[in-house]
A and B are shown apart, each in its own frame.
Chain A
């Protein structure tokens, strides 16, 4: 029963929430959608911060809410990271971190204080007053504070959205390692496809208070019937492992069952899990595997879906030989010129690959 089952109905003014989904209680599930779609409402209801009109929240077979039953927030084994760090201004960084830690019984603690402190790099901040921290530092402290309650479920409500680009980039690696290191399942609210692509294993798409789709992130991000695939920076996620490093050209090869792609050299051990992100606009197609091209990442694929996204462009969904999905956005002229149709085998030429982990 290792899963998260949520079913909520709630009315708040004009807004009506009627959302139900089930997602594995492992890895990161992103609650994704435009602002106002009800993501935060869902998260708050799961945390018990909001008492919805009707709802059922079941985590790992444990019922937190159903009909009259309602476990109050402080008795739910969750951790919550808010948009703003919301550190207690009357406490030092250390006391902030200890706040939740000390309220969890010793035998229920499953993380070490120092481990979490190191993991989020907040050791040097411990003695500081909270108002002397930068935005990124504050949020790292907030995340560490939340994790120190040894939660069974980590809830994050756009924890990066209040940060500037640099702070975001500096926190992202911490978030990425979190789930590897601690193995705490998390629900992550976001409206940023890039963030979702980097972090999410599963996705719950919300639109106007309803669940539009729910499933594996890699699958949903490439579904042409969902709006996210049409975003300008729409991307596919591929998973593989570090196979070899190429010191001569300063590359690292990521191997998958469907072939391999190269990224700029990274210091990762061979065999390490790797996730790469490939933007739809960086994927061009050819009918044959060219060797006389500057592009080194060439993967055979089958066209399984296509959509015109505007009068001049076509979006294609490609299935690689190992079943992973790729998106390609090309001009309609090229599509017609190549005679692209569903079921056809093509070679995807990937111009640039971004390594995520």
Chain B
């Protein structure tokens, strides 16, 4: 069995989800509240991975992160290794690729809350930060759950980007979807079935539990 690929995939998905929550939350907040005219340009950029073929994204990442690219050359000048073919590189790719899946639900949740609860909190002496953590975050909980689950699951299922910038290095960049692809390509269909079937079950369980959880939250008055 490809335990290494499975472990690596889970590690990648968890790291990516964590990073996405970290940068996605302020981004979603800004998108939900800003009145800047260029807000929707950023919104569209964030949503781009939804429609872009992953290989296109992967290809541009390969160029951007490579030694000729803006990011790659900067990293080299800083004496760092370039990102393609490394685990951090996959995290960067996955973060960009899964960004809309995390930002969109959280943004929707923030929009759904509206200004009112925050105004109420302000009249009850809560400072802006206090309002954010004490009111906005808990009220947006369903959005955070959906976003995390989708971000995690989407990263687990990611293939095109990983293929382009991964380099298939066992334990570093050879994730589950690539392992499946390799099995299929090399006629090892039994192993492919095990992994692919497992992934199918995993995805179903994840999506199902998410809907279930959402329903329960709804019943609790969210």
- The answer to whether A and B touch directly, with their CB atoms under 8 angstroms apart, is yes
Instruction: Using CB atoms and an 8 Å cutoff, list the residues of chain A in contact with chain B.
Output: 47-49, 72-75, 78-80, 82, 84, 86, 88-90, 99-100, 103-104, 129-131, 145-146, 149, 155
Q: In the bound complex, what is the Cα–Cα distance between A79 and B128 (angstroms)?
A: 17
Contact call A103/B124, Cβ cutoff below 8 A: yes
B45 is an interface residue with CB less than 8 A from chain A: no
Q: Mark B116-139, 1 if CB is under 8 A from A, else 0.
A: 110111111111101100110011
Q: Are B122 and A90 in contact (CB under 8 A)?
A: no
Q: Which residue of A lies closest to B221 (CB)?
A: A131
Question: Chain B: how many interface residues by the 8 Å CB criterion?
Answer: 22
The 8 closest A-B pairs by CB, nearest first: A100-B124, A80-B123, A131-B221, A103-B125, A73-B122, A90-B138, A89-B221, A86-B120
B196 within 8 A of A: no
Asked if residues B125 and A104 are in contact (CB atoms below 8 Å), the reply is yes
Task: Write the B184-222 contact mask toward A (1 if CB under 8 angstroms, else 0).
Answer: 000000000000000000000000000000000000111
The CB with the most chain A CB atoms within 10 A, among B119, B124, B138, is that of B124
Contact B221 A49 (CB under 8 A): no
Which residues from chain B sit less than 8 Å from chain A, CB to CB?
116-117, 119-128, 130-131, 134-135, 138-139, 141, 220-222
User: For the complex, what is the distance from the CA of A103 to the CA of B127, rounded to whole Å?
Assistant: 10
Contact B122 A74 (CB under 8 A): yes
Q: Is A149's CB under 8 angstroms from B220's CB?
A: no
Distance in Å: Cβ of A31 to nearest Cβ of chain B: 17
Whose C-beta in chain B lies nearest to the C-beta of A72? B122
Given B116, B117, B125, B138, which contacts A100 in the complex, CB threshold below 8 Å? B125
Q: From the candidates B116, B126, B135, B222, name the one contacting A82 in the complex (CB within 8 A).
A: B116
Of B128, B139, B220, the residue contacting A88 (CB under 8 A) is B139
Q: What are 15 of the A-B contact pairs (CB < 8 Å)?
A: A47-B123, A72-B122, A73-B119, A74-B125, A74-B126, A84-B116, A88-B135, A88-B139, A90-B138, A100-B124, A104-B125, A129-B221, A145-B124, A146-B124, A149-B125
CB distance from A310 to the nearest CB of B (A): 42
Q: Of B123, B128, B130, which one neighbours A49 at CB under 8 angstroms?
A: B123
**Among candidates A49, A130, A149, A155, residue contacting B124 with C-beta atoms closer than 8 Å:** A149
- Give Cα A145 to B121, complex, Å: 11
Instruction: Write the nearest CB–CB distance from B193 to chain A, whole angstroms.
Output: 44
A78 touches B123 (CB 8 A): yes
With contacts A88-B139, A90-B139 taken as known, whether A103 is within 8 angstroms of B126 at the C-beta atoms is: yes
How many angstroms between the C-alpha atoms of A47 and B222 in the bound complex? 27
Residue among A73, A84, A100, A103 with the highest chain B CB neighbour number at 10 A: A73
Give A352 Cβ to nearest chain B Cβ, in Å: 40
Residues of B within 8 A of A90 (CB): 138-139, 141, 221-222
A80 to chain B: closest residue by CB: B123
Q: Are B125 and A146 in contact (CB under 8 A)?
A: no
| CB-defined contacts of B119 to chain A, threshold 8 Å | 49, 73, 80, 82
Q: Which residue of A lies closest to B131 (CB)?
A: A74
Chain B residue numbers with a CB within 8 Å of A99 are: 121, 124, 126, 134
Closest-by-CB residue of B relative to A90 is: B138
* Known A86-B116, A129-B220, A155-B123; further 20 A-B contacts with Cβ < 8 A: A72-B122, A73-B123, A74-B121, A74-B125, A74-B126, A74-B128, A74-B131, A78-B123, A80-B119, A80-B120, A82-B120, A86-B117, A88-B120, A88-B135, A89-B221, A99-B126, A99-B134, A100-B123, A100-B125, A131-B221
CB distance from B117 to the nearest CB of A (A): 6
List the B side residues contacting A78 at CB < 8 Å: 123
B110 → A minimal CB distance (Å): 14
A195 to B138, CA, bound (A): 37
Task: Kindly provide the distance from the CB of B85 to the nearest chain A CB, expressed in whole angstroms.
Answer: 44
Within the complex, the shortest CB–CB distance from B173 to chain A, in Å, comes to 41
B66 to chain A, nearest CB (A): 46
